[in-house]
Amino acid sequence: MTGIFPWLILFLPLLAAAGITLFALDHRAVSARLSIGAVVISFALSVALFVHGTRGETRFNWISLSDGAASWIVDIGLRLDPLSLMMLLVVTGVGSAIHIYSYGYMHDDPGVGRYFAGLSLFTFSMLGIVLATNFLMLFIFWELVGVSSWLLIGFWFERPAAADAAKKAFLTNRVGDFGFLLGIILVWAVLGTMDFGQLQKMMAANPALIGNSTIGIAGFLIFCGAAGKSAQFPLHVWLPDAMEGPTPVSALIHAATMVAAGVYMLCRVHFMLAADALEFIAWIGGITALLAALMAIQQNDIKRILAYSTLSQLGYMVMTVGLSGVGGNPSAAMFHLTTHAFFKALLFLGAGSVILALHHEQDIWKMGGLSKKMPVTFWTFMIATLALCGVPPFSGFFSKDEILATAQRTSPALFALGVAVAGLTTFYMFRLIFVAFTGPVKSQLPDHAHESPAVITLPLVALAVPSLLAGFWGIDRFYASQFGTGEAEAATGWVAQLTAPFAHAPGAAFGGLAAVVIGFLAAFALYWNKVQDPLPAMLGVVARWLRDRFYFDELYAKLIAATQDALATLADFVDRWLIAGLFVKGTHGSVELTGRLLRLVQTGNLQTYSLMFVAGVAVLLLFMLIR
Amino acid sequence: MNVGLEHYLVVSALLFALGLLGVIVRRNLLVIYMSLELMLNAANLALVAFSRFNHNLDGQVMVFFIITVAAAEVAVGLALIVALYRKRETAHVEDLTTMKF
């Protein structure tokens, strides 16, 4: 009976997307119901699978080619293990909240049908990544996520900024995906299979394989794909621009799907990442976390602050994957991914609620005093903020503490970096809170703001619960069972669970807490009751660099423009001089010249012809006689 | 003096060369035609000579064919020349350049 559940979970959203596209594109209520229904049923089925504790794979042969000894078999299969089961819950659970919220948020938009079709397609693609049993299937859904993100980020395509952001996201991802595809091909060429289960068995049977340099290179290339999807430096530029999409889409992209795909994939293939690759991954993650946190402190758009915060937290997760070491346990990354999915979705949905109340104003310096006008939004937003900052007992505290503890064990430099990022996180989040929600009103807009309707606040409350409590649910131990390393005994009781991190790795826990306190105090000192940002005056040019995101976009634009110009010049030369000049005109010219020369022979005089004829015969005769 | 095959062949070759020269250098169609006949008959002479010196009749049979074909050809050719003359009032090759590029 449960055999069909995974297939249903995967394909219900696709059916909804197809149904909406074919029949209900113009029916708002029908399309919303189809899409929401599909994802909620998927969620219910996921819960059933989770409770039932199903493990294993279902699969069928998709491509089966054999050529004597060599055979090539690609399955379409669904894999259920702790990793994918929990991700299923996250994707469909957070997805459900976002779908329902979308119904309220997008209610007045004329393209609701198209929106929900895209949302369902996105869910379907992400579920495919979660359930995939082999690299090829993963890659197919990987690309589907890219396509559906393009559709959704560019949902308001009539706005040039949105259309550009969609293209940017798609193309930046393409850069990473190219490396990913090369990595997959390399793995297949060297090991002869793309199936995760078989690969893992191979690695387990032959541990020397992981030191193989080709496998090492494949690991780097595969990380390229993760860097694209999870927006790691230097491919991070697309993610803040993806804010041009509708806010629930941002929530979906930033929390449960898309950016999670990269980290999830890294954990999925963690068994074949070599030590060099892991160290590289750790540093890329750390750099991303720090850069993004720095950029976030000078952004003024509420969604952009959250976007850079996502980047920074993703950096944390990727760093943890890297730090876990060969054959280690990256479950802390997945744990943070899960808690982050809850509170980041909540943050985005809360921001969406604010944006809706302020008639699409996103500048935090035009807000203020919203905590009284929108209490539900404010308090849920506050819970998510505390979770993001890592304040005990919120869920983020536990996951961030595990990350810091991992870093403390393995790399002091990255541990210091992690603590600094934790401080910065608290600083920019409370800057947002103090400026947008408390403090004086900074424009007329908040005067008319009022709390959003229940269809919007209910998902907020629903997400606030796991944001608050997910740390107590043993998610980390559940993930750890995937990687087969013995974790410490689970503490029983709420208090024991809460104090366990302090007993377990006091340096990490107290370090993280100290960073939070310092960040909070700094934010309080600088932004409490302020009407304009004091930082630019204090930091001068540094603040401008932060606000302008270290000029990465400009640098890339210049680089790409220069490269394209060079390529275009080269192509122009080849086309103009080689192809058009030498080949086309050369052929034409030589044929014409020959023709003109031969025309002289055609005098039209019979006697000339006969003379030539005789001359020809004479030559032939001579030739014959001399031989 | 004993007349041998090579004498006949030399005469035949001279006749052929004369005919060829006529075809190439003369400008009057009728004379070109006559020169052509001369070339044919040079060939005939060579064939008859071969026939005689090889003691078989193959060459003579061939000659009969050539005479027959030549007669037909002359009839057609002369008719063409007469028709051309009637149309163009000339039988000189320099004047017949309509087909020249």
pLDDT of B101 > 70? The answer is no
- Distance (Å, whole) CA A403 – CA A444: 43
Residue in A with minimal Cα distance to B97: A604
Q: What is the pLDDT of residue B45?
A: 93
Task: State mean pLDDT over A526-531.
Answer: 76
Please write the tens of the pLDDT for every residue from A66-86: 766 667 777 788 888 888 888
Non-local CB neighbours of A191 within 8 Å, separated by 6+ positions: A199, A202, A209, A215
Q: What is the pLDDT of residue A544?
A: 74
- Distance (Å, whole) CA A501 – CA A400: 10
Query: A614–B20: do the CB atoms touch at under 8 Å?
Result: yes
Chain A to chain B Cβ contacts (< 8 Å): 23
Query: B101–A605: do the CB atoms touch at under 8 Å?
Result: no
- Nearest CA of chain A to the CA of B46: how many Å? 18
pTM for this structure?
A: 0.76
Residue in B with minimal Cα distance to A612: B24
Nearest to A59 by CA among A40, A81, A74, A43: A74
Nearest to B17 by CA among A191, A590, A573, A617: A617
What band does A2 get if pLDDT is binned at 50, 70 and 90? low
Q: Where are the alpha helices (DSSP H) in A433-474?
A: 454-469
- Nearest CA of chain A to the CA of B51: how many Å? 23
Of the candidates B23, B25, B97, which has its C-beta nearest A604's C-beta? B97
Residue B25 touches partner A, C-beta closer than 8 Å: yes
Is A131:A57 a contact under the CB 8 Å cutoff? no
* Residue, of A139 and A541, whose pLDDT is higher: A139
Q: What is the pLDDT of residue A296?
A: 85
Q: Where are the alpha helices (DSSP H) in A192-274?
A: 196-205, 213-229, 238-241, 247-251, 259-268
pLDDT of A489 > 60? The answer is no
Is A450:A333 a contact under the CB 8 Å cutoff? no
Nearest to A384 by CA among A372, A397, A374, A371: A397
Q: What is the pLDDT of residue A484?
A: 65
pLDDT of A494 > 70? The answer is no
Sign of CA dihedral A555, A559, A562, A564: negative
Least confident of A448-457, A617-626, B77-86: A448-457
Query: B93–A607: do the CB atoms touch at under 8 Å?
Result: yes
Least confident of A315-319, A363-367, A424-428: A363-367
Q: What is the pLDDT of residue B66?
A: 92
Task: State mean pLDDT over B26-41.
Answer: 90
What is the gyration radius of the CA atoms in chain A, in angstroms?
30
- Domain spanning B5-98, CATH architecture: Orthogonal Bundle (1.10)
Query: A607–B23: do the CB atoms touch at under 8 Å?
Result: yes
Please write the tens of the pLDDT for every residue from A151-208: 888 888 888 888 888 888 888 888 888 888 998 888 888 887 788 888 888 887 877 7
pLDDT of A43 > 60? The answer is yes
What band does A616 get if pLDDT is binned at 50, 70 and 90? very high
Q: How many residues does chain B have?
A: 101
- Distance (Å, whole) CA A97 – CA A205: 43
Q: What is the pLDDT of residue A345?
A: 86
- Distance (Å, whole) CA B87 – CA A250: 94
* Residue, of A368 and A291, whose pLDDT is higher: A291
- Distance (Å, whole) CA B97 – CA B101: 9
Query: A607–B97: do the CB atoms touch at under 8 Å?
Result: no
Q: What's the whole-number average pLDDT of chain A?
A: 83
Task: State mean pLDDT over B30-34.
Answer: 90
Residue in B with minimal Cα distance to A609: B24
ipTM of the prediction = 0.77
Least confident of A173-187, A496-510, A574-588: A496-510
What band does B99 get if pLDDT is binned at 50, 70 and 90? low
* Residue, of B12 and A10, whose pLDDT is higher: B12
Task: State mean pLDDT over A378-406.
Answer: 85
Please write the tens of the pLDDT for every residue from A196-225: 888 888 887 877 777 777 888 888 888 888
Please write the tens of the pLDDT for every residue from A325-365: 777 778 888 888 888 888 888 888 888 888 888 877 788 77
Please write the tens of the pLDDT for every residue from A543-572: 777 777 777 777 888 888 889 899 999 999
Percent of chain A surpassing pLDDT 70: 96
What band does A1 get if pLDDT is binned at 50, 70 and 90? very low
Q: What is the pLDDT of residue A603?
A: 74
Q: Which of A184-198, A237-251, B3-17 has the highest mean pLDDT?
A: B3-17
Candidates A600, A610, A612, A621: best to mutate against B (most CBs of B within 10 A) is A610
Q: Cα–Cα–Cα angle for A130, A132, A135, nearest 5°?
A: 120
3-class SS string, A99-165: HHHHHHHCCCCCCHHHHHHHHHHHHHHHHHHHHECEHHHHHHHHHHHHHHHHHHHCCCCCCHHHHHH
